[in-house]
Structure formats: C-alpha cells, structure tokens
Structure 1
Amino acid sequence: MASEKTSFCIVKYVFFAFNVFIWLLGCGVLALGIWLQVNRGPFVSLLPAYSFLSASALCITAGAIILVVGFLGCCGAFLENQCMLIGYFVMVLLIFALEITAGTLGFVKKDEVQMLIKKELLSSIKTEYAPRVQNPDIEGWREIFDSLQLELQCCGVNNYTDWYNIQAWPDEARVPDSCCVEPATSCGQLDKSFWFDRGCLGEIEYWFVRNMYVLGVVGITVGVIQILGMVAAIVLFCYLRNRKFLL
C-alpha cells in the first residue's frame, strides 16, 4: 500500500510539474501570436491565399490548444479530478492522431502539396510583390520572401525568370535586389550573371532533406512525450477510480 501511494505521488507531481511547464509554454506561444497579429511585421504567410497559415494565426491556435491542454493536466493532477484527466487524455490523443494523419497525408500527397505550394508562390510573386505599396500585409510578405532568397541564396520559385514581367514591374526582365549574389541598390536591374540562378523551391526541399534527421528526432521526441503524457493521465485516473488509498 505504501509503495503504491509513493508511486502515485511521484507520477502525480511529475505530471503536474510537466503540465505547469506546458501551460507556461502555451501562454508564451499565445502571447507571441497576439504580438505578431497586432504588429503584422514580416511574419505573414508566404501563401497569401492561405492566410490561416500565417505565423501569427498558427501561434495563436497552437498557443490556445497548448494552454487548454496544460490547464487540464495541471488541474486534473492537482485536484485529482478524473473528468479533467480524461479530457486531457482525449485532447492529447486527438492532437497525436491529427499529427499522424497530417504526416501521412503529406507523405502520400507530397507531389500534390508541392504543386499547390509552387502555384501559390508563383501567383504571389506575380501579384503580391509590390515594393512601393505601403500595406503591412504586402510589406511583411515581401520582407520574408526577400529574407528567404538571401538566406537560401536563391531567386524566384523555379529560377530568376519567375520575376520577369510581374505586376510590380510589367514589361521588365528584372528581379528584386535580394536575388543578387552581392546585394546592392538596383542590382536586380543588372545582367543575370549578377543573380542567383537556383530556384527557392528546390532549395527549400534540399533544406528539408538535409535536416531530415533533426526533424525526425524532434518528431519522435514530441510523439514519445505525448504518449508518456497519455499514459500518466490514465495511470492517475485508474488510481483515483479504484480508490486504493487515501492521500
């Protein structure tokens, strides 16, 4: 009986401390999302047609979900509330299932997703890139795309010709200055020998392949933590339901 009580207490307080951390993390992510939404800096979506994928929207959604999960875990453990523990288990299980589903669909429909992203990026380049327009959304999209080109040393989606004759400079075969090997004012109007010749879509794919090991480790770690959280919630629930001892 004493060993069971000790085991219960260890699981309870470790579970409680972990979910306090999760709750604080949720507060931080939610605050970051609200700050991004208010400021609308260079953190908008690269795909304007899918504004719900913007950094601010994703942070707010993720922060709210993490906040609720952490709250249920903390209160369920501290108050020894079986309903909250079951609610915690169900929410974490749903999140885990959605992650598995999204990963599977992304792998199976990889080519379709790639074509959709390519189409949206090309469309955005043609219509959204406007250096002289004072609009927070457009400015943010332009800044993040320029940063992407500078960081990955690429130009356009397929190559630099994607920038030719866009809405911002019709009838001109030029590129943004962020496409230049050595960025300088108006270098995008020079000869193509001054520009990166690789497209950004290929560079992004290469980045994912190059970091696949890290992404895999992160994914597995998150999955293991979620499974352990669900196991702990069920263990606490079973102890409380059976009422084998009193604290």
Structure 2
Amino acid sequence: MGLSCGGKCVKFFLVVINIIFMLLGLGILIPGILMLADVDVINDEVLPLLQQLSFGALNVGDLAKGLSVTLIVFGTFVLIVSTLGCCGAFCQQRCCLIIYAILVLVFFLAKLVVVILWFVMNDKIQSWMKTELLKQLQTNYKNDDLNTHEISTAWNYMFMSLSCCGVNAVTGTTNDFDNSVWISSAGSKHIPIFCCTGITASNYASQTNTACTDTVTSGYHTKGCYDATYDSLSSYSTAFIVVGVCTLLVEIVAFIGAIIIIKNGGEDGKSLSGAAKMV
C-alpha cells in the first residue's frame, strides 16, 4: 500500500523542509567562512594577544579559529544530511529516512544544548573577556612599535585594524594605559601613536600627533577595543543564533515528517513495524 493523501502531503512538505534545511546549512557554512577570513579580528598579528586570553584549558585565539572551522564542517554536514532527507522523502526510501530521522534528532538535542548554554553564559563570558583584556593591556603592553614585543605588536595591530584604543573607551588623558607597563617609558604620551587615526604599519614611525598622543584632545580612536571586538564578533553570533533557532524549529518539523512517512509506508509499502523487523 502506498502513501495516503495526507502522507503524500507530508512527503511534499518534507522535501520543501529539507530544501530550507539546505539553505540553513549554507547559513551556517557561509558565516564560518567569513569569520575565518575576517582579517580584522582573527589575523596572524592579533592572534598572539587572543591566545593570551585563557578560559579554562582553552584560549580565545585558538577557540575563535577552531569555531570557524567547526562551523564550516558542521554546515557542510547539514547540507549532506538535508540532501539525504530530501532524497529519502522524494523516493520514499525507508532506510534513508530512518537514518535521517536519527541524525536530525541528534542534531536537535546537540544544538538545543549549545543555544541554552550561549544564553546562560553570555553575560559571564563578556565580563571575563573585558577583565582579561584589561589585565593583558596593563601587564603585557610594553612597546609603541611593531617589532620589539609580540604581545605589544598584537595590541598595536588591533588598535589599527579595529580603529580602537585601550580596552574601555578613551575619553582623555586618564585611561587604561595609566596602569600599564608602557606608561613608565612613554614620556609625555598618554596613549600610543597606534591609537591615532590615519596610522598604518608603514607610516607609524614617521608620524607625530601630540593632540592625539599627549593631550588626547583630537585625532584618536574613541572606541575601546573590548567594544570593537565584541561588536565585530557579535555580528557573526547574531547570525549564528538566528540560524540556529530557525534550524531547531525546522528540525522538529523534519523529524515529525520523516516519522509520518515511515509509518505510512515506504516504497515497498511496508509499515514501520515491518521495517523494524527487517532492521
């Protein structure tokens, strides 16, 4: 016995759902690729600083690069699974549908845990990141150049690439650099030259701007590097959360649709109980 009229409707719906699932897979894959290629946040110059920000046994630098690669792999896997479900529904292949339903259920549970943890831990992670950045700036920022000290160089590239200065927003001569190692050798400067607008890796050595570095009255980046980093990363996290929640809803519908088609009969017309005996 073939599918009933309702079963045929579910079959068509499941095909459509898996096409949407493919698009959501691309929605995970593409931000992962963009995040990996984002030279402002994760580049070889800034990476040494991010690797100093340890969270348990992990560090932000390796975690950020690993996350982007994970998203690329995961997005590709979602595309493969959605193709399996689409073919299983269209051709009424019970074996494909059973495998598909199991994988979708596993994906659903795993992503549900991740989404919950993200919302629960988000505020704590933000507070930790700002504290760690400030600690690194005050203890490891030592040189106003690009070749003397690796961590200082990473900070200076961050100032240029993200158009930021310090950790918190700079509003005058009293700022995060006051308690840094660098300030004792800074002379009349209150912020490094890399906090000034128009500074690049090729011209910083020949540039002077006392209104920026000494009096901190004009020509400097007012945004703190914590806000700049968070804004840059949150542009991706927002996309991940939206895609993740939509994917969860689609997975619920896809799982139910696959079970309905299996129960109503595959291409050989056997019921779910018959399929279970064969397995």
Q: Are 2:134 and 1:122 aligned?
A: yes
- Are residues 1:10 and 2:12 paired? yes
In structure 2, C-alpha distance between the alignment counterparts of 1:200 and 1:155, rounded to whole Å: 5
Match of 1:98 in 2: 114
- Corresponding residue number in structure 2 for 1:146: 160
Give the direction of change, closer, same or farther, for the CA distance of 1:103–1:34 in structure 2 (3 Å limit).
closer
Q: 1:157 aligns with which of 167, 191, 194?
A: 167
Shift of 1:162: 1.8
Q: Distance in 2 between matches of 1:137 and 1:67?
A: 35
Identity among equivalent positions (%) equals 16
Aligned length: 233
Q: Quote the Cα distance in structure 2 between the aligned partners of 1:235 and 1:134.
A: 62
> 1:238 — aligned with what?
260
Mapped partners of 2:8, 2:182: distance in 1: 69
Q: What's the CA shift string for 1:79-126, capped at 9, x where partnerless?
A: 3331232212221332123112220232xxx3x444422221113324
Q: Which amino acid aligns with 1:162?
A: D
Q: Does 1:176 align with 2:192?
A: yes
TM-score between the two structures when normalised by the length of structure 2: 0.62
Is 1:87 the counterpart of 2:97 in the alignment?
A: no
Q: Give 1:57's aligned residue.
A: 66
The gaps in structure 1 that reach 5 residues or longer are none
CA drift of 1:157 comes to 1.9
TM-score normalised by L of structure 1: 0.68
Find 1:76's aligned residue among 72, 78, 85.
Answer: 85
In structure 2, relative to structure 1, the CA distance for the partners of 1:222 and 1:134 (3 Å cut) is same
8 Å Cα contact 1:125/1:166 also seen in 2: yes
Question: What CA RMSD, in Å, does the superposition of the two structures yield over aligned residues?
Answer: 4.3
8 Å contact from structure 2 (residues 24, 247) kept in 1: no
Could you list the per-position Cα deviations for residues 25-58 of structure 1 after superposition, in whole angstroms to 9, with x for gaps in the alignment?
A: 5554565566679x94567486332235654322
More helix by proportion, 1 or 2? 1
1:133 aligns with 2:172: no
Query: After the TM superposition, which of the residue ranges 73-82 and 157-166 deviates more from structure 2?
Result: 157-166
CA contact (8 A) 2:130 2:226 kept: no
Name the CA distance, whole Å, in 1 between partners of 2:114 and 2:126.
Answer: 20
Q: Tell me the CA shift for residue 194 of structure 1.
A: 3.1
- Tell me the distance in 2 between the aligned counterparts of 1:71 and 1:135: 46
Give the whole-Å Cα distance in 1 for the aligned partners of 2:221 and 2:149: 29
Provide closer, same or farther for how the CA distance between residues 24 and 196 of structure 1 changes in structure 2, counting only shifts above 3 A. Answer: closer
Task: Describe the shift of the 1:43–1:32 C-alpha distance in structure 2 as closer, same or farther (beyond 3 A).
Answer: farther
Does the CA contact (< 8 Å) of 1:77 and 1:85 recur in 2?
no
